[in-house]
Every structure is written in structure tokens, then in C-alpha cells.
Amino acid sequence: MKENVLNRMTLRFPGLPDNERFARLAVSGFIAPLDPAVDELGEIKTAVSEAVTNCIVHAYRGTVGEITLTVRLLEDSRVYISVKDKGCGIPDIAKAREPMFTTAPEEERAGLGFAIMESFTDRLRVTSRPGSGTTVTMLRTLRRGRQTNGG
Amino acid sequence: MPVAIFYDAESRTVLAELSGDIDHCSAASLRAPVDEEVMKRLPLRLMLDFENVPFMDSSGIGLIIGRSKLITDLGGSLIVVNPKPEVRRIMELAGVGRLCSIVFNEHRTLIGGMKI
Ligand SMILES: Nc1ncnc2c1ncn2[C@@H]1O[C@H](COP(=O)(O)OP(=O)(O)OP(=O)(O)O)[C@@H](O)[C@H]1O
Ligand SMILES: [Mg+2]
């Protein structure tokens, strides 16, 4: 199905911890014209933070690699977000998505990132190939009616 | 300064006032000073104040779980204070309430000289 994209942006940045905050702020700035409610904005920022952090702590463990963040604003106040890395990949996606599953318990990871992304978005898709990377895409519809150009 | 730490000898309580976003980037710098104070004082209670935390993700959940383990191993308990609605939402999702009590006090009073 061909989607009508009203606005879009792509950011490429190295997987440095400082960029976790940057990614959250970039997404919240970009979707601001849709006038999301406070709770919606908080949830979207959290989902983005989870996806970007996973690239930094898991995909590029011990190294710093490139992260690509894409946001598209679709019709009917829908926000599409994709976070892509070229890191180690996930061997068993179903297992990785289970709540409390983590491969880094010694780093005080709760294994809740995917569970949070799932509950804070309407759709979460994870595609991954070991050795070549992972892409996480999320779709979230905002409660507000139709978006206008900021007004 | 992302964390201010106080100790009340009378109630044997360590209070850590956290501030700013809690994510993977900031978690380590919050963890170290809190753990240091806990190991020095061996308190009965560790209070983590979230009043000035506008954002938290799963790294904050990891931080809470880790502090809960630490204080529980020492025979003490963890109390989470004043999380904002967005932060509370993620705490509820993670079931943090099973590990510690979450308390809200709008009007801070003075307990043993400590701002609580
Ligand atoms: N981009 C990625 N590249 C490689 N592995 C990943 C990636 N994202 C997630 N994983 C794997 O999936 C597991 C689960 O991820 P999830 O975000 O749910 O939990 P976590 O990151 O381990 O802990 P938390 O997010 O609670 O700090 C991770 O432990 C890791 O093994
Ligand atoms: Mg994670």
C-alpha cells in the first residue's frame, strides 16, 4: 500500500551515549506540529530512546557505529519511526522481544526495552540479520484529529 | 549536578535527589555516588527522589532494580519518592511497585533535619 507522506526526515549520527538525548529531542521537535499530548510525546520519546539505546549498547557493543533515524508523518496523525543499525544483529528476535530477556544483566539492563516500545506504540516491527544489523520500525497514531501546519 | 545526596543519622536514611533525564547515558553517573553513600552509611532506608526527573527509560528501571538489590542485601528497603506522571507510567509498566514503595508527598516536611 502506498502511503501519502506529509513530512519526513532522516538523521545519521554515531552511536554515542550523548546522542540518546539528541534523538529524543529531534523526534519531539519534528512531531511538534502535530501537537501531541504530553503523555503521547513522553511515550514516543521513550520508545525512541529504547531503540537508539539498543543500537549503542547491544548492536555496536565495544565500538561506535552509525545509527539512522527516520521519521515520517503520515495522514490521520500517524507517526512512523524507524531506527536502523549495522551492528551485530539479533539471532532470535522472538526471544529478544520477551519481557525481561536481556543479554546484558550484569550492566543492570532490565530486558524491558522492546516491551516498552511495544506498549508505547501501535505497531512494532523488528527485522534483523546476525552480522549485518537490525531495523526497528514503530507506528503510533496520535489522538488529536487531523494535523494542521502548526496552527 | 545530576544527584544530591543527604544522610539522616537518626532515621538511618540516605536520600538521593535525582535530577535530569535518566537514560543509559546518565545512569552510570547517578549510580556511582548513590552506591558509594549506601556502602559508607549502611542505611535502613534508601530514598530515591524523582521529583526533578522529567524523563526516564528502561535504563532508569535498571537503576532502580539494581539499587533495590543493593539495599535489600544490606537488610534495608528502597522508597521511590514523587515520580512525575510520565515517569510513573513506566515504573508501573515495569512493576517497580513490587520492589519498593512509591510515595507522594506534596508538602515536604522536615524529618530529622532532612528535607523530605
Ligand atoms: N539493535 C540491536 N542489536 C543487537 N541486539 C539487540 C538490539 N536490540 C536489542 N537487542 C537484543 O535484544 C535484547 C532485548 O532488548 P531489550 O531492549 O528488550 O532489553 P535490554 O536492552 O537488554 O534491557 P533494557 O532495554 O531494559 O535496558 C537485548 O538484551 C539484546 O540482546
Ligand atoms: Mg534495551
Q: Which residue has the cell 526526515?
A: A9
Per run of 10 residues, the mean pLDDT along chain A (length 151 residues) is 90 98 98 96 98 98 98 96 98 98 95 98 98 98 65 40
| Domain B3-115 listed as CATH 3.50.50.60 | no
Q: For chain A, what is the total number of helices (H) and then of strands (E)? A: 4, 5
Give the Cα separation of B46 and B116 in Å (integer).
12
**How far from chain centre, in Å, is Cα A49?**
7
**Which pTM value belongs to this model?**
0.94
Find out whether A141 and A78 touch, Cβ atoms under 8 Å: yes
Buried-exposed string B71-98: b where 16+ CB fall within 10 A, e elsewhere: beeeebbbbbbbbeebbbbbbebbebee
What pLDDT is attached to residue B105?
A: 78
| Chain A interface residues (partner B, CB cutoff 8 A) | 17-18, 20-21, 24, 38-39, 42-43, 45-46, 49-50, 53, 56-57, 107-110, 112-113, 115-116, 119
What pLDDT is attached to residue A2?
A: 75
The residue ranges of every structural domain in chain B are 3-115
CATH code of the region A5-146 = 3.30.565.10
Give the Cα separation of B38 and B41 in Å (integer).
5
Give the Cα separation of B29 and B69 in Å (integer).
18
Residue nearest to atom 1 of ligand 1 (CA): A55
Give the three cell numbers for residue A37.
Answer: 499530548
Nearest ligand (C-alpha, residue A118):
1
**How far from chain centre, in Å, is Cα A113?**
10
CB pairs under 8 A between A and B: 66
Find out whether A88 and A137 touch, Cβ atoms under 8 Å: no
pLDDT tens string, chain B, 116 residues long: the values are: 789 999 999 999 999 999 999 999 999 999 999 999 999 999 999 999 999 999 999 999 999 999 999 999 999 999 999 999 999 999 999 999 999 999 987 545 444 445 54
The whole-angstrom distance between A72's CA and the closest CA on chain B is: 23
A42-80 tens-digit pLDDT: 999 999 999 999 999 999 999 999 999 999 999 999 999
**Which residues pair with residue A16 across a beta bridge?**
none
Nearest ligand (C-alpha, residue A116):
1
- Cα of B28 vs centre of ligand 1, distance in Å, is 18
**Which residues pair with residue A137 across a beta bridge?**
A82, A125
Candidates A79, A63, A60; CA nearest to A123 is A79
